Amino acid sequence: MAMNIPLQSVFLYKGLWSPENDSILVATLIRLKQETMWTLDEFPIYFLLTARKEIKAKTGADFTEAEMKKRVEFLKDRYKTFKKVTADNGTHWEMPFKVVVASDEVWTKIMKTLPLAAAYYYHDEPIVNELATLFGMDDVKIETSKEVIVISDTTEKLSFEEDDEEVNSPIFHPETKVRRKLFVDHEGVSDRLSSSGRMAPP
């Protein structure tokens, strides 16, 4: 029997907040963050006031400074909650289908510690990529080990003492150069060489 969980919109949107207003807010914060090279996940007040002005101009909704700040905190909570839901051993995020798959027992366990997790019972976080851009700067990315490809036919093992403070490239001695005579003394050709090395007219 399915759990009696309200629709996602019940958890994510209250009052004047809507997907459209969230989209304007997040897009404005991302733009300002990129323009100013801002790296923190707490934003200057003028970021919020700029987003407030954008929302009012495009949708007519007017929020106070306190409401803007509270909404940003809620968006951050949404992102962190969704990350915890998908990191649980009992869940599997089916990204192509935009759902998190888990048994009702697992959902019950998760929702005991993360009440907002119920928002993701039917659908994943609708703006997860945008929220990651705003709040995911400290996320640890695990990279798989990469195979090392040796290009040369032969390799040489270099040993370094523990006290060495710098590592230099190995010194290669060039082989003896082969010298070739450019002009052969046929019929007085070498006699016609000028001091500059060019052929003098006959």
Q: Which of 16, 14, 18 is nearest to 26 (CA)?
A: 18
Higher per-residue confidence, 147 vs 108: 108
Residue pair 134/30 in contact by the 8 Å Cβ criterion: yes
Mean pLDDT value across residues 32-43: 94
Residue pair 102/121 in contact by the 8 Å Cβ criterion: no
Mean pLDDT value across residues 30-37: 96
Q: Which of 44, 63, 52, 66 is nearest to 24 (CA)?
A: 52
Is pTM beyond 0.75? Reply is: no
What tens digit of pLDDT does each residue of 109-138 get?
999 999 999 999 999 999 999 999 999 876
Domain spans in the chain, listed from the N-terminal domain onward: 10-135
What tens digit of pLDDT does each residue of 4-18 get?
999 999 999 999 999
Q: What is the pLDDT of residue 141?
A: 47
